[in-house]
């Protein structure tokens, strides 16, 4: 008798675990949205998530609410508030612990912000070799002073 009760209990726990997993992790679809990252905040007591708003255009009806379940991804994206971003997401079956069913899986900068990000990465790479910097600085200053201003803007970000 005890064995049957224990077996039934194990089966109920297994079924409950499977159902919970399916409700919180099963992906119905995937997609991409781009716009200006307006808001991103960390919420939750036991299960922490980032909840955000993306402005897809002008007006209140063109905003999109989303959640981020990965804290590292949320911290990275929080630094991009106010910038144009491209968000890849998945739609979950249910939103048991989250504000929305849209879970962000990755992101990238869009347009000019992305170009500036790439330039700053190149500047960081070139800083390690002072001879390259000394060689290029006068050439850039002579031919494209705007580029030199952008490089200095990258240095201010650090």
Question: Is residue 100 within 8 Å of 108, Cβ to Cβ?
Answer: no
What's residue 104's pLDDT? 93
User: Nearest 5 degrees, angle CA 102-CA 105-CA 109?
Assistant: 105
Q: Over the stretch 112-146, which tens digit does the pLDDT of each residue have?
A: 666 777 788 888 888 888 888 888 888 888 888 88
First CA to last CA across the chain, in angstroms? Answer: 68
Task: Examine the domain organization and report whether 77 and 48 are in the same domain.
Answer: yes
Q: What is the domain extent for residue 146? A: 113-157
pLDDT of 58 reads 66
- What is the distance, to the nearest Å, from the Cα of residue 63 to the centroid of all Cα atoms in its chain? 17
Q: Is the pTM of this model over 0.75?
A: no
Same domain, 97 and 75: yes
pLDDT value of residue 19: 82
Model confidence at 157, pLDDT cuts 50, 70, 90, reads: low
User: Is residue 117 domain-shared with residue 82, that is, in the same domain?
Assistant: no
Per-residue confidence (pLDDT) for residue 65, from 0 to 100? 92
Note the pLDDT tens digit of each residue in 2-40.
Answer: 888 888 888 999 998 888 777 777 788 899 998 899 999
- Cα gap 87→69, rounded to integer Å: 14
DSSP 20-41: HHHHHH-EEEEEEEEEEEEEEE
CA 107 from centre of chain: 5
Report the domain count for the chain.
Answer: 2
Alpha carbon distance 116, 111 (integer Å): 9
Place of tokens 């048991």: 96
Position 92 in a domain: yes
- Write out pLDDT tens, residues 59-77: 666 889 999 988 899 998 9
Residue 4 lies in a domain: no
- Helix axes 130-143 and 111-126, enclosed angle (nearest 10): 140
């Amino acid at each position: 008798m005890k064995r049957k009760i224990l077996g039934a209990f194990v089966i109920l726990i297994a079924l409950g675990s499977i159902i919970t997993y399916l409700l919180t992790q099963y992906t119905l679809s995937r997609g991409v949205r781009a716009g200006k990252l307006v808001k991103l905040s960390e919420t939750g007591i036991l299960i922490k998530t980032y909840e955000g708003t993306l402005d897809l255009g002008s007006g209140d009806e063109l905003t999109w609410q989303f959640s981020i379940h990965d804290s590292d991804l949320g911290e990275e994206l929080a630094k991009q508030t106010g910038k144009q971003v491209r968000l890849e997401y998945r739609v979950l079956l249910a939103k048991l612990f989250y504000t929305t069913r849209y879970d962000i899986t990755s992101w990238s900068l869009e347009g000019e912000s992305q170009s500036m990000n790439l330039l700053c990465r190149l500047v960081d790479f070139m800083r390690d070799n002072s001879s390259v910097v000394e060689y290029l600085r006068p050439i850039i200053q002579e031919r494209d002073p705007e580029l030199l201003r952008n490089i200095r803007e990258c240095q201010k970000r650090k």
